[in-house]
Structure 1
Amino acid sequence: MRRRTFIASLPAAALVTPAVARDRASKAPGSADTKKLADSDAQAPPKYWAQGEDKFVRNDVRAGDRPVGASFASRTAVYGTSGACGSAHPFATQAGIDILKRGGSAVDAAVAINACLGFLEPTSSGIGGDCFAMVWDPKAKKLAGLAGSGGSPMGLSLETVRSRAKNGVIPPLGAIAVSVPGALDAWWTLHQRYGKLPWADVLAPAIEFAENGVPVPDLIAYYIRGNMAVFRKRRGQIEEIDNAFKTYAPDGKGPAAGSVFRNPDLARTYRMIAKGGRDAFYNGPIADTIDAYFRRIGGWLRKSDLQAMHSEWVEPYTTDYRGVTVHALGANTQGIATLQMLNMLEHFDLRAEGFQSARSIHLQVEAKRLAYEDRARYYADPHFSQAPVEWLISKEYAAKRATLIKPDRILTPVYPGQAPDHADTTYFSAADKDGMMVSMIQSNFRGMGSGLVADGLGFMFQDRGELFSLQPGHPNIYAPGKRPFQTIIPGFASLDGAPWMAFGVMGGDMQPQGQTQIIVNRKDYGLEIQSASDSPRWHHQGSSQSMGEDSPGLPKAGLLRLETGVPADTRQALADMGWTIGDPDGGFGRYECVENRRDGDTRVYAAASEMRADGCALAY
């Protein structure tokens, strides 16, 4: 899912110019000014974690020392021979493992995890959103891709959308941004091909959680409360918010960390789906309720739009990066941006530049900037506009674009390539005893979604329609029935024709950037599955061409955010190059991964989870 961009409505984090970065560096621990800071009560670091504070920040303190592995690793990967799962919530991961132990396939486990997360992590997922997946089929010895993405309402015209636009951009809240939810159809389609357990059994854990309730983890509680505050603040932009508050914040604020949350409406909706399958949602009582709700509030989504929803099996695209085959979905996603970035980076010796060095990060960011120019110019629903994908991911094109990157200075200006004439989110992975591996991602897009919850259904509708362009002639321009540009992308990598990693990094435009950093960390710097994630990340925002995600007023070359773990000398060197460094804002993505290994003739799974989230990985 896109990073929690509801934070954008709150006071923005300060931008750090090169001069300010140098000033901050002079005040780093060990500098001449350290004593002055320590003598100032106003600037002294906190001595304890004050009650009610979200974070306890001591930048001069690092994690304890691990006896083995990377010094910055949070923990060790988990290992198993029969199956593995990783998700953003421990209960969802446990549910996936339980499904595998009962004889379910990796797809059964993935669908069960996603259904659980729709209740457990409503800030990132739910059946009001879309879903994409890649599945390694051990029988066919091939990777399959599925796009579960819904189109815009047929009754909503371009003229109406333009009349509701703000500064040429579709608003992120309310019915104008709602597109048909594709997630449930994707679950059903995956289960029909690869499921082993009965459909109702796969949904049973989610129903039990939603009915009985569970304690809410810290991060999810924080984001629910933040989203609800935004909905309240912007209630004039949303046709109806009473249902959202009734579902997620009956006290008017939202659950506190550790408090028990229930969603009986969602449990009833899941029970109808467990009994009636996908048709209960798209052509039955749930569709009728959705239709009546949008008519009542003056929205455009109709039962006929839901009836037209069908997921598509798609062939993933691939590229080779230093011997690793990296796979990505095309369709209307940003998946091939990862391939474009890696193709350019292959022309530079990142290992020689050094792990977490300024030159290494600079090269990666420049590759991102070039790829994202193409992303904004060409990516769209292929049913409406044929993007020149083969050209965009070709080695020849990457070689030409790589020549534009200078190791010691920022490229400016930066533009998309000229095509030939013929031309945040929740992520989870699962693997089973038969060798099936699933990489799956699902999202409501920005924050929790549009703010709209249909009467008595217990889930929020996505606001994915915000990412349509309103620019005449643009491939991604709004049209009725068209699928909007998608940020959610599952990741997958293979070695020598065998599956290697089912992985993903959640977080809107961070996703290709995060996937690239994972591959670079593993292949160029030798990090293992967990430390590759725990390594501090960078996140670049802004380009000359935007998909509607960038905040206004960014510097000319964009804003480069660095996590606090990036070395101070690296931060300083990047500022000296001219990069505007932004404070960490929590938008660095969240990762899950299952890796396929061999110990002689025995398959061994290693699973890792993101320390930036509330989840975990388990194996058995």
Structure 2
Amino acid sequence: MRDFQAPGRSAVFATEGMCATSHPLAAKVALDLLQQGGNAVDAAIGAGVLLGLCEPQMTGLGGDCFMLLKPAGSERIVTVNGSGCAPAGADAGALRARGLDAVPVYGVESVTLPGAVDAFCQVSADWGRLGLADTLAPAIRYAEIGVPVAPRVAYDWAEPTHLQGAARRHYLNGNVPLRSGQIFRAPSQAEVLRRIAREGRAGFYEGEVAQDLIDSLREMGGCHTLDDLAATTCTYGDPIHSAYRNLDLFEHAPNGTGAVASLILNILQHFDMASLDPLGPERAHLEAEATKLAYDARNRFIADPDHTTRLAHLLAPETAAQLASLIDPTRVLPDVAPLTEAIHRDTVYITVVDRDRMAVSLIYSIFHSFGSGLASDKFGILFQNRGAGFTLTKGHPNEMAGGKRPMHTIIPAMLGENGRITMPFGVMGGAYQPVGHARLVTNLRDHGMELQSAIDAPRAFVENGTLALETGYPIATAQALTDLGHQVILSPGPRGGAQAIRIHADGVLEGASDPRKDGCALGC
């Protein structure tokens, strides 16, 4: 039980429906849609699209999404891959010929086609109840009247210096970032949403909106075409499954990096994690070393689904056993070179469970803060820079090529136990996400933390030769890790943000939301 004399928040309990996400207006809209007769799909899409206005630095209609969906009355999970491809004209060889060894993070070369809108339209038609007109109505209204900028959003908004051209006009206030409490309006996006509500995917991937997207990209030197945009389609599939101490973990298959979370947990199963201090150096060291090994595997294997050929090897028990044997409690492994220079922490996540226990785990992103820093001229749609997730290494499975999906950091997940799906969840934070999944699972299973406490607990992440610790770690832990050989630093900012809904066996829903964000869990 939490200490009610200390800062913190309680978990939220309800029976009829629940949403947990990173902005309270989105959580409220999700409940409103449920109470209007919609289901978890309607609520997740309606609130998710609104997050693109509440947190425009994190996501928007120019981005991608992944989804895990548990239908009502079933314990199976359907995955939705709403990630777009590189344009047909993308060519790693041409970039290498220019002397580049990585895709420019904020250049038009990094812009991949937006996949989320197609996924929202398809999933709404296949699984929703309300239809797009009702589902998108709240987001259309807020795009017109505006959304007050929340404190965490203002913190992020102040950082980017890469906004260019139309993006500066649409997302700055007189060339200055918006501050907490100021109103952000996007009437041009309201018009785009009205067209999607009326025409479905054609309202975005055809006609004036599509022309604005492609004309803007071509003007900036892009090779994108209307045919590239029209070819963008989501795909359904099955999750990948792994087990951790009698918990079932379901992750999205590549091109997402859910398999990396599974691999980290498979490695950690070889150690007595429950015996370790949750904030002690031994646990932080083991997690850091498992992360290095798993991310090395990510860098070599994860790619477009048609190019990922070693997934079974990545998830095999013997692979985890071999990697675990490389970890020495008294020695630090060399750091893993990043696959690209694409370091970021910008994503939104939403989970919804309805009265029929349909559950949705949805993650939606434009990659870096404000994506590529580029936007369409007329409608102000931010272009994602997911192409920075490609490598330019010749022959690599994740080498940039036309019509190919890049390796993605965003990963929605669900937990299950004894044949029953028990918890949709996600942990935002760029490359941190697989570690965040593993840490949340070990907090719950090994350390017996309550759900909100498991989310609140301090986080650590090893990247770029450093081990970053959030505030909350004891000084003694930092010193012991330094003595061991880690280059310990204070985390430069909050590490990600998590949302989760636990579906208890008696039917009660328990929601938890990360205080690192502005959001909350709400139930009805």
Give the aligned residue type for 1:393. L
Deviations 1:206-263 (A, max 9, x none): 0010100121111212222322x333xxxxxxxxx23112211131112111111111
**Structure 2 residue aligned with 1:159:** 93
Does 2:504 align with 1:571?
A: no
- Indicate if the aligned counterparts of 2:82 and 2:118 stay in contact, CA closer than 8 A: yes
Deviations 1:522-568 (A, max 9, x none): 000011110001100001103xxxxxxxxxxxxxxx21000110112
Partner of 1:452: 374
2:425 corresponding residue in structure 1: 503
User: For residue 94 of structure 1, what is the amino acid of its counterpart?
Assistant: K
Identify which of 135, 151, 162 aligns with 1:230.
162
1:356–1:379 Cα change, 3 Å: same
Considering only aligned residues, what root-mean-square deviation do their CA atoms show, in Å? 1.7
Q: TM-score normalized by structure 2?
A: 0.95
The aligned counterpart of 1:80 is 14
Q: Deviations over 1:80-125 (max 9, x none)?
A: 0011001111101100010011111101111011110111111111
From the superposition, tell whether residues 414 and 376 of structure 1 become closer, same or farther in structure 2 (CA, over 3 Å): closer
Query: Helix, strand or coil: the match of 2:367?
Result: coil
Give me the whole-angstrom Cα distance separating, in 1, the residues matched to 2:364 and 2:389: 16
Contact 1:132-1:490 at 8 Å conserved across structures: yes
C-alpha displacement of 1:265 = 0.8
The separation in 2 between residues aligned to 1:430 and 1:150, in whole angstroms, is 24
Identify the residue that residue 209 of structure 2 maps to in structure 1.
286
1:408, 1:577 within 8 Å by CA — same for their partners in 2? Answer: yes
- Local SS of the residue matching 2:262: helix
Q: 1:590 to 1:165 in 2, by over 3 A?
A: farther
Please say if residues 504 and 593 of structure 1, whose CA atoms lie closer than 8 Å, have aligned partners that are also in contact: yes
SS class of match (1:184):
helix
SS of aligned partner of 1:160: helix
Match 1:207 to one of 125, 140, 161: 140
Of the candidates 399, 409, 412, which is equivalent to residue 331 of structure 2?
Answer: 409
Residue in structure 2 matched with residue 196 of structure 1 by the alignment: 129
Residue 234 of structure 2 corresponds to: 311
CA offset at residue 517 of structure 1?
0.6
Please state whether the residue corresponding to 2:505 is helix, strand or coil: strand
Partner-residue secondary structure (3-state), 1:142: coil
Distance 1:264-1:164 versus aligned 2 partners, 3 A rule: farther
User: 2-side partners of 1:298 and 1:472: how far apart?
Assistant: 24
Q: What CA deviation, in whole Å up to 9, does each residue of 1:445-486 have, x standing for no partner? A: 011111221122132010010121111111111111111110
Matched with 2:469 is 562
Match of 1:598, SS state, is coil
Out of 499, 514, 522, the position equivalent to 1:610 is: 514
> Which residue of structure 2 aligns with residue 181 of structure 1?
114
**Partner residue in 1 for 2:343:** none
Alignment-derived partner of residue 301 in structure 1: 224
The aligned residue for residue 32 of structure 1 is: none
For the Cα contact (< 8 Å) 1:93–1:618, is it kept in 2? yes
Q: Percent identity between the aligned chains? A: 38
Contact kept in structure 1, 2:336 and 2:463, CA below 8 Å: no
Q: Which amino acid aligns with 2:300?
A: R
Matched with 2:254 is 331
- From the superposition, tell whether residues 165 and 608 of structure 1 become closer, same or farther in structure 2 (CA, over 3 Å): farther
Counterpart position of 1:394: 316
TM-score by length of 1: 0.81
Do 2:147 and 2:183's aligned partners in 1 also have CA atoms closer than 8 Å?
Answer: yes
Question: Does structure 1 retain, via aligned residues, the 8 Å contact 2:40–2:352?
Answer: yes
Residue 53 (structure 2) aligns with: 119
Asked if the contact 1:110/1:438 (under 8 Å) is kept, the reply is yes
CA distance in 2, matches of 1:457, 1:497: 46
Q: Which amino acid aligns with 1:118?
A: G
Distance in 1, matches of 2:149 and 2:320, equals 45
Please name the residue that 2:66 is paired with.
Answer: 132
Q: Which has the larger radius of gyration?
A: 1
- C-alpha deviation, 1:296, in angstroms: 2.7
Letter in 2 for 1:136: K
Q: 2: distance between equivalents of 1:394 and 1:199?
A: 42
The alpha-carbon deviation at position 160 of structure 1 amounts to 3.1
Question: Could you list the runs of 5+ residues in structure 1 that have no partner in the other structure?
Answer: 1-66, 232-240, 417-423, 543-557
Secondary structure at the residue paired with 2:191? helix
The one-letter code sitting in structure 1 at the alignment partner of 2:162 is V
Alignment of 1:450-599 (within 5 A): 450-542=372-464, 558-599=465-506
Q: Is the 8 A contact 2:79 2:237 kept in 1?
A: yes
- Post-superposition shift, 1:382? 2.1
Q: Deviations over 1:272-301 (max 9, x none)?
A: 111111121112331122222223332222
